[in-house]
Amino acid sequence: MFLVTPLLVLRLLARGVRSRPYHRRWPERFGFFDAPGFSGSLWVHAVSVGEVNAAEPMIKALRRDYPNAPLVITTVTPTGTARVQQLFGDSVFHVYLPYDLPYSVGRFLKKTRPRLALIVETEIWPNLYFACRRRGIPLMIVNARLSERSLRGYKPLRALLRSALRCVSLIAAQSRTDAARYRLLGADPQQLLVVGNMKFDMPIPHSAVADGATMREHWGPRRPVWIAASTHEGEELAVLEAHLQVLKRLPDALLLLAPRHPERFRVVEHAVRSLGFTVATRSIDRVPSSSHQVFVIDAMGQLMPFFAASDAAFVGGSLVPIGGHNVLEPAALSVPVLVGPHTFNFEEITDSLIHRGGAARVAGVDRLGPEMLALLLDADRRARMGQAAQQVFERERGAVQRIMQLIDAQLQE
């Protein structure tokens, strides 16, 4: 880790060129920050936005059940940091997780003094895990998942990761497949439990449906509307080409376009304008009017009302080999979902939705337009898919309650 630290710093510098927040709060990445002055904290690590969203119901349950315990939340990315601040404000203590260097990790643990560490999904840092074991800090991996791609990537380090995983008290896996992959990585079967996916327990804002209906009244209640959410570089052009195909048949259709990363908001807006679309943005126009063809959602954490206002959704990160993003937000609101071929980050959830008829997979970029147009033209199919998606979402809820029971038992022990 000492040898690769210069490469990590160079990567941080490079990321900062595209996103200035990466240049801020550097000392925290080496364990230097103002000591909060508490002990016996409950520490949750959620690497970025998706993991923070997944952990939200668990964090709220921790605040409810352990009101006197200081709560520490760590992230790695600025977008994850922004989401923590948006959801919890000053009610939690946020700091960046330091690089996996012994002294950096030691400083972090000395200042936060956790009584329990909760790692969300897939973050295996050997020095951190070894340090927790030396200090007698119980460590749990919650909502644990491990894609086939990650398993292959970890293969050269399997011996080291096996030793690290033996420092973990409990691994609460999302599915049997994830549990099996953790076993292949070296986890002890006695450590593993399958408890389900916390993302199914995400709170649905009561105002989302009402806000969505209000927006539809503003831009035209009968307009066909679809949303492309969490898109990445290489996907926006495909989405815009698909919208051109939709407009040929449905000239009043509206596309809501939400890029995944804030540093790309302006780039995407300029690309849309350069192709001749009439464009509005969230930051300037707030909501689109009846004259706009594309609305760029250049804001974080505000997708739920827009999902509620949409007839159909495409979830990004799936036309390019990113692995896909969370399909449950539209599913929870009974919105039919389209995804691309690359969904390994949400493998079981996506497959379950497709199997139950709540989602459909498009084979590639050239099929997004025809598939979305067919969906927008078929109200009965949209209703069937939306109902099926919502049923899958409701049936799978309950993981947070099971995880909280495990946390209670661990703390009592």
Asked if 101 and 126 touch (Cβ cutoff 8 Å), the reply is: no
- The question of whether 51 is a catalytic residue gets the answer yes
CA distance 182 to 186: 6
Asked if 228 and 307 touch (Cβ cutoff 8 Å), the reply is: no
**Half-sphere exposure of residue 181: CA atoms within 13 angstroms, side-chain side:** 20
Active-site residue identified among 28, 51, 56, 121? 51
CA distance 360 to 379: 15
Query: Would you name the residues annotated as active-site residues?
Result: 51
